[in-house]
Amino acid sequence: METTGFDLYQFEQLLSDEQRGLCRQIRAYVDNIVVPNINPFWERAEYPRDIFMAIKELPILGGTVKGYGCAGLDSLSYGLVQYELSRGDGSISTIFIVHSSLAMGTIGFLGSAEQRERWLPAMARMEKIGAFGLTEPERGSDASHLLTTARRDGNNYILNGAKRWIGNASFADLLIIWARDEDGGFSGFVLENPTQLPGVQITNIPNKIGKRAVPNADIIMENVRVPAENRLEGCTKFKDITKILTYSRYGVTWEAIGLAAGCFEHALRYTKERQQFDRPIASFQLVQQKLVEMAAEVSYLQFFGYHLAQLMENDQLTIGQVAMAKYSATTKARRVAQLGREVLGGNGILLDYTVARLFTDAEAIYSYEGTADINLLIAGREITGLSAIV
């Protein structure tokens, strides 16, 4: 697209003037604020607070949620937001998607009018940052059998259990926790100021090789009291949670597309500038083979994402379709990242070159928001009508 002038199949012509303008705004943020400053935070595995908070100047908070100060984007624009963020850095993209899509999206879609009014405006202004706690130490892909429990006690619920891999948790002002209630149903609870809440212990997970600037945490809850008014009124069963997962996996699909585009853009630029044997390495046959494969995958993904957006906008996107899309996009992005790292040679493992960071991020998105295998099985169930998930 515009940054490099590469748009072989004129994908950009499908976008409206407003969508192109939105892309330019986000690219300016990514190219001028994120990319020049993110590496030290990635290396230290540290939350890049100032870099992330600068995103509040963009008209993108809340995604497709309407009202309450939220952006109210159409589905394609929502996808393009993730595309543009992730082409520069996966950590910022993930911190944003947890806050804007998972946390704000959950409140926007499953909260009551009073709950939306209570929390969303401050989240849209980024005065309060959100997190989303579904995954557990013993319940990753098997999320429908949560072990965390919620018991009613007068005007409160008492939560007990553990969560794992929860992004943003260590600095969140609002933490959504999913639990099984006494009737066996599913409930979502908004924990306010969770780091200061009695009975809550939040510990960041160390030693990650990807998405290192995203603080992912273990959470332990022992007899945590949450006001009954903080229970999300629109959730009573796991199917309600799948609405949020479909929304989020759609965003992650676009995140993968953006990551692939970022890898290709950097690889193309590098190979045209890098000289060996008195000529640019982009002039060599084997390098061109890799570049063409990368370009083909990126072009395919752009148009695939565009059609996915039409289904999303028309409320026709099924959980099986989005699972297949997430699987396909992350698999292809992983391949593009591999090729991008290859054409950079030894420089492909240095943080000084953005491809190295995106290469590790590709491994993370391949597994989060549903592993590749789980998404394959969800898609397979929809295609065949037969479940292979035990």
Domains and CATH numbers, the chain: 11-124 (1.10.540.10), 130-230 (2.40.110.10), 238-384 (1.20.140.10)
Q: Tell me: the pLDDT tens digits for 120-162? A: 999 999 999 999 999 999 876 666 778 999 999 999 999 999 9
Please tell me the predicted confidence (pLDDT) of residue 142.
66
Q: Pairing relation of β-strands 174-181 and 149-153? A: parallel
Distance CA 314, CA 145 (A): 31
Please tell me the predicted confidence (pLDDT) of residue 241.
86
Strand partners, 151: 158
Strand partners, 186: 180
Please state, for a pLDDT cut of 90, what percent of the chain lies above it: 89
- For 362, the token pair is 């590709």
CA angle 169, 172, 175 (to 5 degrees): 70
CA atoms within 13 A on the CB side of 264: 32
Strand partners, 133: 177
CA-based nearest residue to 176, from 214, 148, 204:
148
- For 251, the token pair is 């965003």
Please tell me the predicted confidence (pLDDT) of residue 190.
98
Distance CA 176, CA 192 (A): 9
CA-based nearest residue to 366, from 327, 309, 318, 319:
327
Distance CA 228, CA 64 (A): 27
Q: How many CB atoms lie within 10 A of CB 359?
A: 25
Residue type (1 letter), 184 = G
Residues of the chain with pLDDT below 70 are: 1-5, 140-143, 390
Q: Which residues contact 273 (CB under 8 A, 6 or more apart)?
A: 280
